[in-house]
Amino acid sequence: MHPKVAAAYDSLYNCKPYVGPLVSNRHGILRTNGFEATFDGILGERAFIAVMQIMSRANHSCKPNTKSCRQKYQATYTASRDIAPGEEITVTYIDETRPKAERRKELKTKYFFTCTCELCGPA
């Protein structure tokens, strides 16, 4: 891995708990920020995890300002409302239509944080 790519990768957040000597910080970063990707027909019907240089940096909100779309060989975020210059780009990691308590429980269980987004409010 090129040193600049490695530095960018290593700067991503790792929310996964340490689980033993065989699991590295880079593996945790992969599990935290990766997107499932399938490449049917190229390598069979296998699933892979891809970490994107920009997309993997988007944080969660239960009231995100983008919609994500994944197609066979690409993934995109599209603004779902006007986004002000300098405003954080947000996505949802979960089904944001569920009640707050359920959203918070899922986020705590899977991603180890308490959501304090505009919709959830303070912890």
Residue numbers at the binding site for Zn ion (CB under 5 A): 62, 115, 117, 119-120
Q: Nearest distance from residue 119's CB to Zn ion, in Å?
A: 5
Q: Nearest distance from residue 57's CB to Zn ion, in Å?
A: 18
Whichever of 12 and 120 has its CB closer to Zn ion, that residue is: 120
Tokens 């959203």 found at = 103
- What lies within 8 Å, CB to CB, of 35 at 6+ separation is 49, 50, 51, 52, 55, 56, 70, 75
Closest residue by Cα to residue 101 from 83, 78, 120, 81: 120
Whichever of 75 and 120 has its CB closer to Zn ion, that residue is: 120
Q: Nearest distance from residue 19's CB to Zn ion, in Å?
A: 26
